[in-house]
Structure 1
Amino acid sequence: MRNDRSMLSLSHFSIRRKLLLLVSLSLFSILISTALAALLHRNDLIDARKNEIRSIVELAAGPVAELHSLYTDSRLSRDELILQVRKQLDISRYRQGNYLFLIDTAFGTMISNAGRPELEGQDIKTLKDSQGVGLLSDLLTQLDNRNGTFWRYHWAESDGMGHLGLESSKISYVMRVPGSDWVLGSGVHVQDIDQQLIERLLTLAIVMLTLLLLTLAVALIIAHNISSPITQLCQAARRLGEGQLEGEVRGIERRDELGTLARAIALLQSQAQDNLRLRKLSDHARFLEEFDPVTRLYNRQALGEALEREISRQQRHDCRLAVLVIRLVLLREITTRWGRECSNRVLNLIVERLREHLRVDDVLARHGEDTLTLVRPEAGDDDKVRALLRELLETIALPVSIDGQPFSLHGRIGVSLYPGDGDQEFQLIGRAEEALRGARREERDWVWFNSLTTTAVDQRLTLWQDIQVALEENQFFLAFQPIYNLSSNQPVSAEVLLRWRHPQQGLISPAVFIPFAEQTGLVKRIDLWVLNAVARQLRQWSKQGLSMPRLALNLSGISFLRPDFELMLNNAFSEDFALLKHLEFELTEGVLIEDMERIQDRIDSIRQLGVQIAIDDFGTGYSSLSRIRNLAIDHIKIDRSFIDDIESSPQSCKIIEAILHLAHGLRLKVVAEGVETEAQLHELRQMGCDLVQGYLLSRPLERADYEALLNEDLEIDADIL
């Protein structure tokens, strides 16, 4: 428990303080170790000096003994002996101020003492130190019967100039001179050793202090190098936790652990940004699946689901439900005259006004470009529905002002009622649309479905059901109209055409079921069927080793602009994405009326998969070369109405020549469709057209016939050239 509390309290310190604490503890340990080492070093110094003194004394004892033996042999007088000995000991000085002394213990006299020459020849038997200890007696006691010993006593220190200082502790080594009563010795003041130690310790202290300051400075730098990036990383992690994903993560260039951590946080931030973008895209895609991006009302699909829920609720409560399809007359004309942005603002103002007249359980949706649908649960009797119709039409008719420009619209409404007009969502919406068409024909403000004859409606419902059966039972099949290159005179691609072989009615013209499918929303399922069928056909030809053509598909703008279109494309070609390079999408000019930025993004993403893009029926719609010059397209197809008049109308020829000239300037290839005469083909060749298709060259072929054409490797007949 004590360790846990210690760790807990330590965790309250910052990394900078922990590093400084660690350095301080390290330096404190070094200081303690240094003090202990200094104490031990003092003892080592004393031992070293004692050994040095002993060696010097023992070395000097030899010559002194020889001189004494000369005296014993009467070859030297005593005065000569004393003189010679003093000369010998004088030249034996060592270090600075260290000397040897010689005492005659028999007479108690000092023979030689260079440090205190006044004592030479003096009787020292009575000489005492400051503590009253007799020096000679103490020496003899320490020496006893030994030849040599270390002697500790107090002795005045000389400064080398003959001046004596205070007494201090001194250690000397003394030994008997062989063959005599003399004692030879030398010593050192402990204070001198301490002074040497202090000098060394002072030098060491200066070095230690310098190292301490350097260490503290380096520790501060290291602490800042660690703590500052950690603080920044903590701030980055905090921002990341709070959902702020745009801040810069610093330190990713570092090569240490903090750099690794910084890169990890930067990766998390990048992943969080990617996840946020994906979530926004997913939310936007879900929004587009259910809501109209302009008015933020339910779209056609969400309307159907909401109506199904309301029908189920009305069945439980046995109530009447009204479906009102409202057309805003003149809204399309506003788009044509003043642009889509203006018409969208008018539409939103009207929608906001209509919201004020809605009940909580009402459902309002955008049914089409200029059409709204209102679902009124518990609608009540016919009088209440009429009152609602008048209220809505009066609201729509109120003037609208955009940037000072007044606009006045009026509405028409088709009405169907549950349960009298149907009990399915498609029945109620379809019959309300039929009632709206009746209101337009009769130029009335509103029409009830139950006032119309139901024959045409029944036929439309039958067609709606037959198309769904045809999709499930594969009654549809593909036909291929070859497209020829005028340079090589060979078929290089084909336009894919959809055909329907009904089991009872035989072949049904696309002009019948395609417009109906676009009106009812079935065109998305048809486009998906065509896309999967083309993918299967390309895979089959690839396995057969057939010369692979490029297939051009004419998709509806509804499918092409779906949020999940790329997913549909990937699913269809999931087994072999390389086949996408043999695919081309033909977009009608009506698609270009939509948001250009959105279209450009979709075209760019599709072309990255290898798919080519062409603009179909060029020259008949709203687009122009100036509008499509920034789109990454590959071909444009001149509408057949210009080709039909190429022989009789100089204006058509001029238009075609202008289109070819401008398209080639934009590096686009031009396809002429509907070529039916040799003269038309000749004129197109002379104008420099790139590709042609039409009944003159080939009618739409079923799969087997088209494969035979590819295997024959035919060219355009030279007679037609």
Structure 2
Amino acid sequence: MLAKVVRSKAVARAAVIGLALGVFALAALAAVSITTNASTTSHIRHNSQISDRWAQIDLHISVESEALNDYMVAKKFGKDLLDSAMYSAVSDLAWQARYGDPEDVGNVVLVTDSYNAFTQTLTELRRTGTDRERTQSLADQATLSASFVRKSANANVTRHRLAMDQYLAEADQFNQKLSLAAITVCGVDFLLLVLCAGVLLTHQRRIEGQAVESRYRALHDELTGLANRALLADEIEKALRTARQHEEAVGLLLLDLNKFKEVNDTLGHHAGDLLLQEVATRLTGAVRHSDTVARLGGDEFAVLMPQILSPEHCSEVARRLLDSLEGPADLDGVTVDISGSIGAAVFPLHSSTGTELLQHADIAMYTAKRNRLGIAVYDPEADRHNSQELGLIGELRRAIDENELVLFYQPKVSTRTGRVVGTEALIRWEHPSRGLLMPGDFVPQAEESEIIIPLTDRVLAMALDQHRHWRDEDGTLLSVAVNVPTVCLLDEAFADRVGAALELAGVTPAMLTLEITETSIISDPVRASTVLTRLREMGVRLSVDDFGTGYSSMSYLQSMPLHELKIDRSFVRTIADSHGGAAIVRAVLELARALDLEVVAEGVEDEATLALLGSMDCAYAQGYHISRPVRPADLITWLSSWRTQKDFQPVL
């Protein structure tokens, strides 16, 4: 309770203000004391001077009286003494009249009159000759005057001494009160000083605690409590310094979780946080005390391992770590499988600095993830290839902004009539230095990063703009198909973006076909079905691309709002000379008819295959025999030369 009071801001402010007022009160008391003492000293000095002057007057009168007595005894010898003694009190009486207090000024008038009478009597006495009777009478009269003056002087001395005693007593009482007040203020100030010191110490401890906490937060991940990137960098540098001194090796593992984004998108960020915490627990439980486990951000973790014997040892540790990590995890009642990809790099074999070690481990992890290896050790040859790919992804962002992407179009035709029923838009990249790049050169890498979303949006907008151009400029009504990656089907906002693109281009939704893969469906069938249903309700056509190469179940196909299946080219190529290929195509056609889906055969490369597909009642075909992917202007030229151009019309 006391500590809480001390930590209170109101108490701290009150203590500081109280201490300031206490110091001010002490200063005021000191000023009053100094002023009072000075006034007392001045008053006592002045009264002492007045009292001393009255005493001097008494002394002078005594001397003059003694001189009178001597004169009366022996006139001859006492005359000079009397003359020198006379008028000795004049200056003291004048001083009293000028500097004495009002009562002294009133008294000095009477005393002066008596002293003047005394002096006149002495003067007359000296002039008297041998008349002894007259002389004695004057002497008696002078003695009476002198006695009055002395009594008055003594009375004034006594009065001033009594006044000084009373004044000193009053001053002493005031000083006692002043001292008591000073002691009280000093006591209060001391208590306030103790309180202020307690407040300051409390705040100092709090600030120190906050500094420690801030430093901990600056060097640790808030969610998992693991070291963050900054602390990992410091630990790497320390480990490398030690390794250089003792000629040891240091290993660094970088781990990236598989399908973490799907967990986040499907179950929510809370489940994602629980998954990251579970991964942190498993990693810290599987490493040595000398190792450092860090979270670099997102779903990336790192393990720094001093004193690694060899790259093989590092790989073995990585394998044990991955085995400890993988397995089911319960996330608030939902069980998910944890898996990941680990990249390893070793100092000084692979890297000479901490920055290089981290970079090379990241490259190895990227290799493990892309090739589904689980674990990969850094390879300089793969590094050069990966560096080119990473640089390509960075350039792809610029290519989207600067319109370096182009679309080629491959027509689809009816196998029975040869009519052109639509086109598929296929992306190309006109790289300023590497020439025309095919989709396989950059799309797989784009799918592993967030850039696939703006890339897909850009392709969609370009295809719809081209459709509008053919319709408005060439009078050709030609539907377009666009490939859609998995990530778009897990994005609830994708349907809204498609609708906005259609509205902006002024294109009827039925003129757009979105082609998806089987893996897109099985990745998250519930969310995929929701997005696809919205697209179908908008009027957009939906097609499953490369059917037969994935792992989709019949239940997924039955529940998804699809329009079309596209048989993968690997089955179509062998249809004429392989019983298995023909059987698979017939099975897909039967399945499609049962599900009321249209079928497009991809990879038709000769007339015989096209004719055979027609005999199997496969409605549509696409392939090099019909046309390679061509630029938009070349497609219009191709249409004019196609032998069934007279029958051209879209199938809606």
The normalised TM-score by structure 2 is 0.49
Higher relative contact order (CA 8 A, sep 6+): 2
Higher relative helix content:
2
